[in-house]
Chain A
Amino acid sequence: AQSVTQPDIHITVSEGASLELRCNYSYGATPYLFWYVQSPGQGLQLLLKYFSGDTLVQGIKGFEAEFKRSQSSFNLRKPSVHWSDAAEYFCAVGPYSSASKIIFGSGTRLSIRP
């Protein structure tokens, strides 16, 4: 079965501290992996994506993620968070083919401590 797991429901970090949000997936074929961010009352904005190639991908707003096939993980990182990074973060898998659909993790809410 296809699934995405984000084990951390809520994380609080201090402004300027580093951040890592975890994501594990189960997918039958080569996954297309995404991280989206959602501010309150807004739609989802793509931070970064992995299709193939270099397993370390750079995204917008200073975020990066690393694909580790052996661990079925795609963790999101940022070396120094800003107060404006407070939001909900969703890891997602797919779409891969016309029969596929995007599968979202349950999300991680990030709070920033001043």
Chain B
Amino acid sequence: DAMVIQNPRYQVTQFGKPVTLSCSQTLNHNVMYWYQQKSSQAPKLLFHYYDKDFNNEADTPDNFQSRRPNTSFCFLDIRSPGLGDAAMYLCATSMQRGQGVDTEAFFGQGTRLTVV
């Protein structure tokens, strides 16, 4: 009964070769997040979607893009992966209604990206 599912769990890509990571959710949450987490560091927010509204963090490189074709799915595209992009990528979802009825974030198991 996994609620936030990330595929694949492990991804190896070549330097400069575009790669897509996927995230799906069964919670019907309206917010989806993508985080990058490097070894022994806190997750770093790349961007998030509130419904269809895309919110990019100011320091997220242009190399990172995202798509959310519907409520359930969200994709992270890395156009030209560099060695420095090797990391764990975490997808999360939450429900935002305001007025004290928001939920916490639910995380997937992550995708470990290796760049060779």
A residues adjacent to B (C-beta < 8 A):
32, 34, 36, 41-46, 49, 51-52, 88, 90, 92, 95-98, 101-102, 104-107, 109
B residues adjacent to A (C-beta < 8 A):
4, 6, 31, 33, 40-43, 45, 48, 50, 55, 88, 90, 92, 94, 96, 98, 100, 102, 104-110, 112
Would A43 and B31 be within 8 Å (CB), given that A32-B102, A95-B105 are in contact? Answer: no
| Complex interface: chain B residues within 8 A of A107 (CB) | 40-42
B42 touches which of A41, A98, A106 (Cβ 8 Å): A106
Q: Is the CB of B42 within 8 A of A102?
A: no
| Complex interface: chain B residues within 8 A of A98 (CB) | 31, 50, 96, 98
Q: Is the CB of A90 within 8 A of B42?
A: yes
Closest to B94 in A: A95
Q: Is the CB of A43 within 8 A of B33?
A: no
| Complex interface: chain A residues within 8 A of B33 (CB) | 101-102
Closest to A92 in B: B105
Interface of A is mostly: loop
A61 and B88 alpha carbons, distance in the complex (Å): 25
A52, A88, A97, A98 pick with most chain B CB within 10 angstroms = A98
Could you pull out 7 A-B pairs where Cβ atoms are within 8 angstroms?
A34-B105, A44-B90, A49-B104, A101-B45, A106-B42, A107-B40, A109-B40
A90 and B41 alpha carbons, distance in the complex (Å): 10
Would A102 and B92 be within 8 Å (CB), given that A41-B112, A45-B107 are in contact? Answer: yes
| Complex interface: chain B residues within 8 A of A106 (CB) | 41-42
A32 and B102 alpha carbons, distance in the complex (Å): 9
B96 touches which of A41, A95, A105 (Cβ 8 Å): A95
A36 and B37 alpha carbons, distance in the complex (Å): 14
| Complex interface: chain B residues within 8 A of A101 (CB) | 33, 45, 48, 55
